[in-house]
Amino acid sequence: MDFLFKEEQRELKEKVISLCKEKLAPLEEKVGESKVMSREIADVLAESGLFKLFVPAKYGNTTKMPSLVSVCLVREELARRCPNAELIFVMQGLGSYPIVLSGSEELQAKYCPLIASGEKIFTICLTEPNAGSDVGAIETTAVEEKDLWVLNGQKIFTSLAPDADIYTVFAKTDPDKGTRGISAFVVEKGWEGFDPGKRMDLMAAHPIGAPVFKDCSVPKKNLVGELNAGFKVSMRNLDFFRSTVGAAAVGMAQAALDEAVSYAKGRFQFGKSIAEFQSIQFKLADMATELTASRALVFRAAYIKDQGVERITLESSMAKLYATEAAWRIIDEALQIHGGYGVIKGQHVERLYREIRALRVYEGTSEIQRLVIGNMLLKA
């Protein structure tokens, strides 16, 4: 699909591929699957200038505002080759975009240089033990006291916690108003009352934790956007980044397809390579077709957003739903083609098999995406 992209976007893609081969791949091999964020990998991403994609032009981006096509291109290539780098890259964006989108000039002036330079690593605190898909059910509170907001509550499934430096936190400022009583705040690690939390163990190792707020004092100026407008901020944030989840799925599925083709050519049974068997060719054909369709849906949504459309809820939900479900099928088939070797620990397809599972859950489960799509079709 490179012919659809601008010259600078094709150059960006090649830059990321080269970065993976020359600098990130050795670090990825060194880090492996880890529950701890690699500062070395974060530093390489920072030095490469990729974090500048998340800020406005005045802070170093080559475009006026973040380009979704560019972010999707980077995330696809990183997910295909360097999963630790892909996670750090996207969380820098997901955690900071509310500031870029809705933050005051003062907040942007303070934090955008830190986002762009990678001097600080950002993440987002939204999910709670009793509030996943139902954002309105969050229980963390923020109470106004003189010149401060005081936060209390428990978060969970916060990627890059406790290693990240700065957290965009969503809390109830008017508990009786449901989604209309949520606000967003920027909280820095090290502030009194903020515990970045214990690490969590996932089926595919991942830096992720459960931050706790206990009388955490936050300056009033660190309110992101308008009071009680946090739900809208979170939805616009997810609206942008949901397509990039599809891009990550595409990258992982491409890696699986590459592995499957290579293995099928080199694996011999009954006197010939298994690639010569029609059953294997049919699998590869279906995998490649679904992968191409996924990539088209992802970049269709991203292209529409880059044309200045404020909301791409339908397009991003379709892209996220189809690409993640298709990637699950593609990776499953890739493992099947590998036979017994596919389930051996240390095999690339075995790791992909575990890693892809989370993408059908986070930033809106597949079931939620279907609800969103169905509701929007009925309202049209």
pLDDT at 380: 78
Structure tokens at 371: 């609800």
Query: Rounded to a whole number, what is the distance in angstroms from the first to the last CA of the chain?
Result: 30
Which of the following CATH numbers is that of domain 2-120: 1.10.540.10, 3.40.50.300, 3.90.79.10, 2.102.10.10?
1.10.540.10
Structure tokens at 26: 């050795």
Residue (of 247, 244, 241, 248) closest to 101 by Cα position: 241
Residues known to be catalytic: 363
247: Cβ contacts below 8 Å, ≥ 6 apart? 71, 72, 73, 75, 76, 79, 298, 302, 323
pLDDT at 4: 82
Helix (H, G, I), strand (E, B) or coil at 227: coil
Phi, psi of 14, deg, nearest 5: -65, -35
Per-residue pLDDT of the chain (380 residues; tens, 9 = 90+): 777 899 999 999 999 999 999 999 999 999 999 999 999 999 999 999 999 999 999 999 999 999 999 999 999 999 999 999 999 999 999 999 999 999 999 999 999 999 999 999 999 999 999 999 999 999 999 999 989 999 999 999 999 999 999 999 999 999 999 999 999 999 999 999 999 999 999 999 999 999 999 999 999 999 999 999 999 999 999 999 999 999 999 999 999 999 999 999 999 999 999 999 999 999 999 999 999 999 999 999 999 999 999 999 999 999 999 999 999 999 999 999 999 999 999 999 999 999 999 999 999 999 999 999 999 999 97
Structure tokens at 364: 């809106």
Do 44 and 19 meet the contact criterion of CB atoms below 8 Å apart?
Answer: yes
Q: How far apart are CA 294 and CA 300, in angstroms?
A: 10
pLDDT at 369: 97
Q: How far apart are CA 65 and CA 310, in angstroms?
A: 12
Phi, psi of 229, deg, nearest 5: -105, 15
Do 343 and 349 meet the contact criterion of CB atoms below 8 Å apart?
Answer: no
pLDDT at 94: 98
In sequence order, the β-bridge partners of residue 59 are none
DSSP assignment string, 56-98: -GGGT-SSSS--HHHHHHHHHHHHHH-HHHHHHHHHHHHHHHH
Q: In the chain, where are the structural domains located?
A: 2-120, 124-228, 231-379
Which of the following CATH numbers is that of domain 231-379: 3.30.365.10, 1.20.140.10, 1.20.120.1200, 2.60.40.10?
1.20.140.10
Fold of the CATH domain 124-228: Butyryl-CoA Dehydrogenase, subunit A; domain 2 (2.40.110)
Helix (H, G, I), strand (E, B) or coil at 196: strand
Peptide bond into 162 cis (omega under 30): yes
This prediction's pTM:
0.96
Q: List C-alpha distances in Å: 41 to 29, 80, 262, 286.
A: 11, 16, 28, 35
* One-letter amino acid for residue 270 of the chain: F
Q: List C-alpha distances in Å: 217 to 104, 189, 198, 243, 322.
A: 19, 12, 21, 34, 42
Same CATH topology for 2-120 and 124-228: the answer is no
Q: Which helix (H) or strand (E) holds 223?
A: strand 223-224
Q: Which helix (H) or strand (E) holds 108?
A: helix 105-117
Residue (of 342, 105, 121) closest to 224 by Cα position: 105
Phi, psi of 169, deg, nearest 5: -115, 135
Structure tokens at 32: 């492996």
